[in-house]
Amino acid sequence: EKELKKEGIDVVDIHGRAKSLYSSFLKLKKYDMDINKVHDLTAVRIIVSEIADCYEALGIVHKKYRPMIGRIKDYISLPKPNGYQSIHT
């Protein structure tokens, strides 16, 4: 949060979560996956007030945590049919 604010990003909310063991189990069973292929055991949600800040925040996050190529989803430039806008990385 400090890094984001230092760059002038208006942070509305930041919170994290760990996927429950049961939820992880269901995902593994549903997709017949290996635990090593589950990439969302933990997550951080950063909510900012401006769209441009989403991309700025993404850059800051990627400086600290290397992105997984092919796993970035930009629902801001291509919103979901229901209007959902976000960036997943």
Model pTM? 0.77
pLDDT value at position 40?
76
Q: Which domain holds residue 48?
A: 2-88
- Report the Cα–Cα distance between both ends of the chain, in Å, rounded: 17
Question: Based on the structure, what is the number of domains in the chain?
Answer: 1
Number of neighbouring beta carbons within 10 Å of residue 53: 19
Task: Provide the CATH number for the domain around residue 10.
Answer: 3.30.460.10
**pLDDT tens-digit profile of 27-49?**
888 888 787 777 778 889 999 99
State how far the Cα of 9 lies from the Cα of 12, in Å rounded to an integer: 9
The whole-number pLDDT of residue 60 equals 95
Contact residues for 66 (Cβ-Cβ < 8 A; gap 6+) = none
Q: Match 């290996």 to its residue by tokens.
A: 34
Contact between 35 and 28 (Cβ < 8 Å): yes
